[in-house]
């Protein structure tokens, strides 16, 4: 065996020693030495997915679920370009991927040779780093260099903030070992990196506590974040000690119950998409923060982003251990280099005013009882209409609880309004209510994947039932529809004993049907497909919905159903067109038995838009000033 191929065959050994156990590859000729080496390594699980775009998102789903790096392998040419959407998503969602792109030797680049493009630094600034494997490794120093750079690439992918790296591997023929020839793995030296956690000096932490003590209107906002019990407990301690509202989208995973948090207040706030839609400046002024503390990644809630940009705090602290920090709300004043769990735990200690404050918020703030007033004249149904009345500060309120009060009141009101509206009788069959009913029956502990466009927005408005333990995932790094199904498939492969439920729309689903084009069963996968035969989101947002080109050029109406897809890939199939069919199918659909299942919900795009507009009208007309 040539020295060059031996160096290539050592790549899986380096991966295994540094903790990579899963590889997703797409077949090709130029990548044959990599394919054979990974396939024969005893510590590596290799899965073959022909479509590189789907393969990369499946790898992303594996890495996201396992919280460790996954390797991708493809052949030369445009194959690597098809990884680009998933690489960009991994970069912005901070998910470690190690991308091995096979290539022609450097002398054949730009020489009109087949399947040859410019692959060096293929992903540009959407990768944390790009490495080029030596094309010749005859000299011992070259073999040392080759092994060293593979290890450096893996370590870089795992370093916080994690992300994708590319290793471009130029390969000369021959690609294949001789018949009966065995591959040797190693011995090879690797360099491991041990993770550390940055801490602030005690004096600096004390200064931060003093600033918090002197600031009455403090708001914490979480971006997208994996479920983290230590972080939840630290946040609850911080919120209790400082009487601070903590706000997060569904993908912040603040809702997950812990043994120390069940049935306790202060609770986290997740209905901001509802109560920030109320008209008038009164509530918005009551919610305005003086200090904003943020952590995590992106927000779904456009309402919250716009609100914080329009009502900018005097101070904005962002807590992040390392890496570049975005000024999302145009108010950033200080970056705090700590893990969020460590920061909130440290700042919970030493608050002299914390004694007894938990009791002050250990009850739900009251809202007016729901009435049955009809909607405006153009509405056709009766709906519950609780009034939002957040109450003026009382004589016993501290300055901090006076600020917390409207946040909790608004959260309670929004929950009551949603529950009443979604459960009203005689509503038309629609996708908003379908998502609500599916979320009520979601298996506890499930991995809930939300496709981009309306599915993630519906779920973020509705939230999960109180105390539910689902972990929520969404490709909100780039917010594209192109790999939502494949990511869920990767999660199902990573955790075969955990139910994985995907809520998706028709455009995202049909765009990514190759997520199922492989030979690996995913019996734990459940897909709820909302098929309104159009890109229905454009009928729900101002701008496109007022244009005469809406149906042809924005909604891009299509006649497809998923029945053939389900048959082609062996999925159980439930077509649904009424609430009666939905209520009968959901319990069966969500059971652990029966294998991978697809529930296709057929609705009308115009009906969906009309029903959603009735919800928005209800929010706008259920507003009161404080008493």
Domain co-membership, 114 together with 160: yes
Under the banding of pLDDT at 50, 70 and 90, the label for residue 350 is low
Query: 144 and 211 share a domain?
Result: no
Predicted pLDDT at 351:
63
Q: Cα 401 vs. chain centroid, distance in angstroms?
A: 32
Please tell me the least confidently modeled range out of 90-104, 479-493, 541-555: 541-555
Q: What is the mean pLDDT of residues 265-285?
A: 86
pLDDT band, very low/low/confident/very high, at 360 (cuts 50, 70, 90): very low
Which residue reads 């003026």 in tokens? 392
pLDDT band at 56 (very low <50, low <70, confident <90, very high): very high
C-alpha angle with apex 435: 432 to 437, nearest 5 degrees?
110
User: What is the pTM (predicted TM-score) of this model?
Assistant: 0.90
Distance CA 65, CA 244 (A): 31
Picking from 170, 194, 224, the residue at the C-terminal end of a domain is 170
Q: Out of 163-172, 459-468, 490-499, pick the least confident.
A: 459-468
My answer on whether 397 and 331 are in the same domain is yes
pLDDT at 392: 59
Mean pLDDT along residues 47-73 = 97
Whether residues 30 and 117 fall in one domain: yes
Which H or E run contains 615?
helix 605-620
Q: For residues 326 and 452, state if they share a domain.
A: no
One domain for residues 207 and 256: yes
Q: DSSP secondary-structure letter at 382?
A: B
Domain count, the chain: 3
- Cis omega (within 30 of 0) on the bond before 586? no
- 114 occurs within a structural domain: yes
Do 451 and 566 sit in the same domain of this protein? yes
pLDDT number for residue 337? 97
In a domain, 415, yes or no: no
The arithmetic mean of pLDDT across residues 539-543, rounded, is 67
Q: Report the alpha-carbon distance of residue 496 to residue 195 in Å, rounded.
A: 28
pLDDT tens-digit map of 258-273: 544 444 444 699 999 9
- Both tokens of residue 427? 């509503």
Q: Is residue 422 part of a domain?
A: no
Report the share of the chain in percent with pLDDT over 70.
86
pLDDT of residue 556: 74
Residue 85 CB partners (closer than 8 Å, separation 6+): 53, 56, 57, 478, 480, 482, 483
CA contacts within 13 A on the Cβ side of 118: 4
CATH of the domain at 120: 3.40.50.970
User: How does pLDDT run across 174-192, given as a tens digit for each residue?
Assistant: 887 888 888 888 789 899 9
Residue 185 and residue 10 in contact, taking contact as beta carbons nearer than 8 Å = yes
> Is the same domain home to 382 and 437?
no
362, 218: one domain: yes
pLDDT for the residue 626? 53
DSSP designation for 239 = H
Q: The domain spanning residue 368 has which CATH number? A: 3.40.50.1220
Domain contains 184: no
133: domain range? 3-170
Specify whether the CB–CB gap between 243 and 404 falls below 8 A.
yes
Q: How far is CA 178 from CA 137, 181, 210, 283, 593, in A?
A: 20, 5, 71, 75, 46
Asked if residue 253 is part of any domain, the answer here is yes
Question: Is residue 625 in a domain?
Answer: no
Which of 35-44, 128-137, 372-381, 572-581 is predicted with the least confidence, judged by mean pLDDT?
372-381
Same domain, 381 and 438: no
Residue 607 lies in a domain: no
Kindly state whether residue 352 falls inside one of the protein's structural domains.
yes
pLDDT for res 298: 95
Mean pLDDT value of segment 87-104:
97
Q: How far lies 51's CA from each of 98, 321, 515, in Å?
A: 18, 36, 8
Give the CA radius of gyration of the chain. 26
The token pair at 143 is: 């073999």
* More confident position, 472 or 593: 472
Statement to judge: residues 123 and 14 lie in one domain: yes
- pLDDT band, very low/low/confident/very high, at 169 (cuts 50, 70, 90): very high
* 356 and 306 within one domain: yes
- Give the span between the Cα atoms of 314 and 56, in whole angstroms: 42
Q: For residue 6, what are its two tokens? A: 């031996």
The pLDDT tens digits for 196-214 are 889 999 999 999 999 999 9
Mean of pLDDT values over 96-119:
90
pLDDT of residue 218: 97
Query: Which range has the top average pLDDT, 332-346, 356-370, 466-480?
Result: 332-346
The residues with which 48 forms a beta bridge, in sequence order, are 25
């Amino acid at each position: 065996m040539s020295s060059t191929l031996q160096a290539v065959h050592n790549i899986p050994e380096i991966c295994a020693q540094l903790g990579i156990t899963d590889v997703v590859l797409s077949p090709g000729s130029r990548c044959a030495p990599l394919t054979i080496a990974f396939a024969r390594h005893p510590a590596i699980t290799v899965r073959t997915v022909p479509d590189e775009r789907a393969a990369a998102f499946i790898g992303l789903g594996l890495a996201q679920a396992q919280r460790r790096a996954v390797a991708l392998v493809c052949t030369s040419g445009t194959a690597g370009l098809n990884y680009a959407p998933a690489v960009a998503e991994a970069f912005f969602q901070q998910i470690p991927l190690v991308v091995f792109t096979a290539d022609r030797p450097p002398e054949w680049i730009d020489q009109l040779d087949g399947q040859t493009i410019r692959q060096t630094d293929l992903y540009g600034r959407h990768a944390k780093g790009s490495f080029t494997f030596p094309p010749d490794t005859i000299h011992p120093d070259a073999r040392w260099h080759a092994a060293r750079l593979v290890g450096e690439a893996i370590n870089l992918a795992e370093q916080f903030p994690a992300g994708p790296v590319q290793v471009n591997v130029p390969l000369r023929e021959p690609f294949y070992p001789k018949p009966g020839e065995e591959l040797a793995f190693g011995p090879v030296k690797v360099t491991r990196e041990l993770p550390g956690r940055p801490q602030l000096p005690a004096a600096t932490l004390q200064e931060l506590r003093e600033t918090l003590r002197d600031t009455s209107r403090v708001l914490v906002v979480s971006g997208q974040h994996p479920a983290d019990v230590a972080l939840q407990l630290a946040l609850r301690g911080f919120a209790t000690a400082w009487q601070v509202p903590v706000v997060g989208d569904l993908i912040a995973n603040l809702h997950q119950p812990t043994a120390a948090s069940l049935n306790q207040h202060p609770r986290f706030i997740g209905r901001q998409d509802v109560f920030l839609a109320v008209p008038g400046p009164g509530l918005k002024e009551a919610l305005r923060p003086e200090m904003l503390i943020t952590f995590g990644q992106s927000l779904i809630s456009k309402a919250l982003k716009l609100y914080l940009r329009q009502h900018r705090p005097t101070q904005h602290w962002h807590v992040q251990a390392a890496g570049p920090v975005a000024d999302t709300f145009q108010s950033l004043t200080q970056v705090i280099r700590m893990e969020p769990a460590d920061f909130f735990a440290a700042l919970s200690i030493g608050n002299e005013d914390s004694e007894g404050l938990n009791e002050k918020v250990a009850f739900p703030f009251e809202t007016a009882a729901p009435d049955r007033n009809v909607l405006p004249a153009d509405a056709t149904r009766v709906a519950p209409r609780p009034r939002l009345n957040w109450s003026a500060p009382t004589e016993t309120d501290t300055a901090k609880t006076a600020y917390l009060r409207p946040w909790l009141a608004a959260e309670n009101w929004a929950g009551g309004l949603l529950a009443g509206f979604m459960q009203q009788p005689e509503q038309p069959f629609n996708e908003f209510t379908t998502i609500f009913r599916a979320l009520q029956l979601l298996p506890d502990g499930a991995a809930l994947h939300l496709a981009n466009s309306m599915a993630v927005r519906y779920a973020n408005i509705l939230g999960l039932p109180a105390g539910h333990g689902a972990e929520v995932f969404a490709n909100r790094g780039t917010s594209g529809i192109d790999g939502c199904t494949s990511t869920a498939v990767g999660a199902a492969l990573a955790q075969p004993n955990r139910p994985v439920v995907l809520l998706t729309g028709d455009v995202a689903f049909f765009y990514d049907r190759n997520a199922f084009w492989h030979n690996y069963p995913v019996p734990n996968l459940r897909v709820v497909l909302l098929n309104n035969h159009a890109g229905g989101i454009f009928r729900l947002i101002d701008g496109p919905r007022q244009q005469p080109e809406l149906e042809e050029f924005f909604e891009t109406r299509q006649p497809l159903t998923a029945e053939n897809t389900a048959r082609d890939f062996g999925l159980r199939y439930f077509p649904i067109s009424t609430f009666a069919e939905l209520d009968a199918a959901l319990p069966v659909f969500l059971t652990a038995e029966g294998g991978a299942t697809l529930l296709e919900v057929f609705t009308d795009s115009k009906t969906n838009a009309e029903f959603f507009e009735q919800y928005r009208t209800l929010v706008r007309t259920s507003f009161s000033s404080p008493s």
